[in-house]
Amino acid sequence: EALDGGALARVIEGDWIRLDSELGVLEAVVDASEWQARSAALPPAVDHWSSGRILFRARRALCSHAEAGAVMELP
């Protein structure tokens, strides 16, 4: 999600995260204006993947995004 510029990329160290499993809420407790002013902080692109990451690269490419359930979509 963060690599796609989703909300996770706006969370910074020190932010409080609220999780309410009964209401199905997961949110950052940040002032709305501050949240909107933040840009996505993406990690630097570094190619340091182990052989395990390379081995499952094709499988990861078949999975939908987290917001869509991370379901494997076979061609």
Record the tokens describing residue 20, joined without a space.
């309410």
> What is this structure's pTM?
0.54
Contact 10, 2 (CB under 8 A): no
What pLDDT score was predicted for residue 49? 63
pLDDT beyond 80 at 18: yes
pLDDT tens, 19-44? 999 999 999 999 999 999 998 887 77
Counting every residue, how long is the chain?
75
Report domain extents, the chain.
Answer: 2-68
Contact 9, 2 (CB under 8 A): yes
Q: What is the DSSP track for 22-54?
A: TTTEEEEE--HHHHHH----PPP------HHHH
The mean pLDDT of the chain is 84
Lowest mean pLDDT among 13-22, 40-49, 54-63: 40-49
Q: Report the distance separating Cα 60 and Cα 75, nearest Å.
A: 13
